[in-house]
């Protein structure tokens, strides 16, 4: 009898690492408390230069949640992105970057309520620090694996959102991320499924609709009037009904579906909104992200600074 034991390769378990970042006041403290409750070992304000030493060695007993932000003494955008790239490329690590976002006006309100000093505005108003930090984190925000806008969320809502993405419960609902994007800027990172909407009639060529986006009713109505729209959405809904439960049964915890068009403003946004609503009505846990609209919002905030 041939002994095949030496031919069998058993891969070691992956080291699970979540890096948490985002503008000050966006809810990092709440998020790390939730992750700690979910069984993560939380390390706050770790110098990025020490991260490789922390990751080296055998897998940890618990997943790691590491907070890295502008408070870190060696923080830089380039260094942060290099760190994220290295962790993503490391075959021994299951890495996710959690970015907690928040609108400028809500951040100002939160700072006024707590009377805290902003870490980038020790001697000036919080607004100047908020604007500087939002601009500083733009590239990191675009790299996020999980993006949560905490602007409309209570701490309880944020806890539920974090649990949706990171709870280790095998019986929880599959989390579906629905995204819109522009093909001119390339595919968003981490998409599982991509659908092209460029065959639909384009509101960009209608002067009254050009400045609006796919969340606006006149734009959505214009796109839905395309003769191909109804048949296309039926096919998308049918594919979701078939595949999403199958992904869940296979043990997949997160599924990212992207809709693209030329500019990422009208068609892909309207279709993503319509599809996300359908999934939510069917009982799935859904998050939405419109990449190009978010980019413009950040750019506009930076211009005001």
Q: Please report whether residue 67 resides in a domain.
A: yes
Among 145, 168, 191, the domain-final residue is 168
pLDDT at 3: 43
Q: In which domain, by residue range, is 206 found?
A: 175-303
pLDDT at 1: 41
pLDDT at 275: 97
Among 136, 168, 200, the domain-final residue is 168
Q: Please report whether residue 117 resides in a domain.
A: yes
pLDDT at 298: 60
Residue 293 CB-density burial (10 A; 0-12 exposed, 13-18 middle, 19+ buried): middle
Q: Report, in angstroms and rounded to the nearest whole number, the Rg of the chain calculated over CA atoms.
A: 21
Domain match, 87 and 234 both: no
According to DSSP, the β-strands at 41-44 and 285-290 are unpaired
Q: Please report whether residue 2 resides in a domain.
A: no
Domain match, 42 and 160 both: yes
Residue 178 CB-density burial (10 A; 0-12 exposed, 13-18 middle, 19+ buried): buried
pLDDT at 304: 54
What's the pTM value of the predicted model, to 2 decimals?
A: 0.57
Among 168, 197, 224, the domain-final residue is 168
- CA atoms within a 13 Å half-sphere pointing along the CA-CB vector of 28: 23
Residue 142 CB-density burial (10 A; 0-12 exposed, 13-18 middle, 19+ buried): middle
Domain match, 135 and 194 both: no
Residues in Cβ contact with 197 at an 8 Å cutoff, skipping those fewer than 6 apart: 259, 260, 261, 267, 268, 271
Q: Please report whether residue 6 resides in a domain.
A: no
β partners of residue 65: 18, 42
Residue where the block lists tokens 């599959």: 174
Q: What is the CATH number of the domain that holds 57?
A: 3.40.50.300
pLDDT at 169: 54
Domain match, 89 and 198 both: no
Q: Please report whether residue 147 resides in a domain.
A: yes
Domain match, 180 and 99 both: no
Domain match, 253 and 220 both: yes
Record the tokens describing residue 225, joined without a space: 């009037």
Q: Please report whether residue 268 resides in a domain.
A: yes
Domain match, 31 and 144 both: yes
Domain match, 260 and 283 both: yes
Q: Please report whether residue 49 resides in a domain.
A: yes
pLDDT at 100: 94
Domain match, 134 and 19 both: yes
Domain match, 197 and 128 both: no
Domain match, 69 and 155 both: yes
pLDDT at 206: 96
Give the pLDDT of the chain (305 residues) as one tens digit per residue. Answer: 444 444 444 455 678 899 999 998 899 889 988 898 888 899 888 888 888 888 876 667 788 999 888 877 778 889 889 888 888 888 888 889 999 999 999 998 888 777 677 877 777 778 888 998 899 999 999 888 889 999 988 888 888 888 878 876 544 567 888 999 999 999 887 789 999 999 999 999 999 999 999 999 999 999 999 999 999 999 999 999 999 999 888 767 778 999 999 999 999 999 999 999 999 898 888 888 898 988 777 655 545 55
Q: Please report whether residue 1 resides in a domain.
A: no
The number of residues in the chain equals 305
Domain tally, the chain: 2
Domain match, 59 and 153 both: yes
Kindly state the DSSP code that residue 31 receives in the 8-state scheme: H
Q: Count CB atoms within 10 A of the CB of residue 148.
A: 24
């Amino acid at each position: 009898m041939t002994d095949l034991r030496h031919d069998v390769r058993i891969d070691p378990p992956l080291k699970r690492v979540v890096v948490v970042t985002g503008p000050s006041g966006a809810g990092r403290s709440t998020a790390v408390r939730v992750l700690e409750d979910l069984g993560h070992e939380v390390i706050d304000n770790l110098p990025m230069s020490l991260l490789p030493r922390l990751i080296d060695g055998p897998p940890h007993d618990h997943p790691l949640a590491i907070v890295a932000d502008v408070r870190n003494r060696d923080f830089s955008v380039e260094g942060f992105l290099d760190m994220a790239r290295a962790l993503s490329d490391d075959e021994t690590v299951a890495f996710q970057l959690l970015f907690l976002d928040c609108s400028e006006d809500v951040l100002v309100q939160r700072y006024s309520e707590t009377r805290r000093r902003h870490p980038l505005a020790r001697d000036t108003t919080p607004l100047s620090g908020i604007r500087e930090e939002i601009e500083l984190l733009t590239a990191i925000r675009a790299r996020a694996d999980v993006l949560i806008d905490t602007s409309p969320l209570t701490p309880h809502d944020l806890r539920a959102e974090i649990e949706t993405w990171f709870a280790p419960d095998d019986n929880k609902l599959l989390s579906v991320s629905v995204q819109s994007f522009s093909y001119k800027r390339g595919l968003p990172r981490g998409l599982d499924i991509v659908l092209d909407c460029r065959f639909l009639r384009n509101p960009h060529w209608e002067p009254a609709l050009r400045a609006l986006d796919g969340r606006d009713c006149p734009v959505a109505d214009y796109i839905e009037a395309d003769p191909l729209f109804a048949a296309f959405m039926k096919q998308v809904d049918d594919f979701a009904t078939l595949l999403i439960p199958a992904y869940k049964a296979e043990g997949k915890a997160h599924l990212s579906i992207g809709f693209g068009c030329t500019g990422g403003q009208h068609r892909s946004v309207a279709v993503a909104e319509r599809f996300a609503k359908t999934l939510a009505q069917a009982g799935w846990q859904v998050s939405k992200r419109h990449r190009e609209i978010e980019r413009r919002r950040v750019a506009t905030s930076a211009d005001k600074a």
